[in-house]
Chains A and B, each alone.
Chain A
Amino acid sequence: EIVLTQSPATLSVFPGERATLSCRASRIVGTNLAWYQQKPGQGPRLLIYAASARATGIPDRFSGSGSGTEFTLTISSLQSEDFAVYYCQQYNNWPSLTFGGGTEVEIK
């Protein structure tokens, strides 16, 4: 099983600042990696797929990068609605998949 490790577990950021979230895979997954946003009481929302492509309707302040085993999600200027938990997910062996443990982005 491919294990995804996200860091940090919690990220405290002022509104308007940049947030950088990391996801490391235990084995190479190419660019078969997605990022999701989850708010309390809601299902996850797909932000990024193929490591760097934004899903429909996702603002361009969200960007993804990386390949192989190291990936990054960057939120360029945090808005109030961006405070949430973010998960990475690998689908290199689709339809089998695994999720990272999540990073909570909180207001500083």
Chain B
Amino acid sequence: QLQVQESGPGLVKSSETLSLICSVSGGSIRSGAYYGGWIRQAPEKGLEWIGSFSYSGNTFNNPSLKSRVTMSVDMSKNQFSLRLSSLTAADTAVYYCAVRATYQTFDYWGQGTLVTVSS
């Protein structure tokens, strides 16, 4: 059974870049069958897809976030990461990482990490 866990700073400043890491345990992400992704949830709001990637290296971002998103994978550490640049208050949210391992969409999710963007 996979487990995923997000980590990162709880507070970042406006205009700076957010860096988050997702650690995967209980299985290796070296399998080409896995996909990973990031989803966020602003306070009292619904879920917003940020981006997804295949472990073969293809990435797909939400067009609404334009070129602010960068995702990468470190297979040696069984981790993947998210960088979101040019932060504004609108980026304040709980950020989730997720893995698609068994089914046709994300089936393993982290608990989420709250990121607050301050001015």
Contact = CB atoms under 8 A, between A and B. Distances in A.
B104 A49 contact: yes
Nearest to A33: B105
B102 interface: yes
Given A49-B103, A87-B46, A97 B109 contact: no
Contacts of B106: 46
Nearest to A100: B46
A46 B48 contact: no
Contact of B109 (A34, A45, A100): A45
Given A89-B105, A95-B52, A96-B52, A43 B110 contact: yes
A68 interface: no
Interface string A22-43: 0000000000101010000111
A8 interface: no
Contacts of A50: 104
B46 A102 contact: yes
Interface of B: 35, 37, 39, 46-49, 52-54, 60, 62-63, 96, 98, 100, 102-107, 109-112
30 contacts: A34-B104, A36-B47, A41-B111, A42-B111, A43-B98, A43-B110, A43-B111, A43-B112, A44-B109, A46-B105, A46-B106, A46-B107, A49-B103, A49-B105, A50-B104, A55-B103, A91-B104, A91-B105, A94-B52, A94-B105, A95-B35, A95-B37, A95-B52, A95-B53, A96-B62, A97-B52, A97-B105, A98-B49, A99-B48, A101-B46
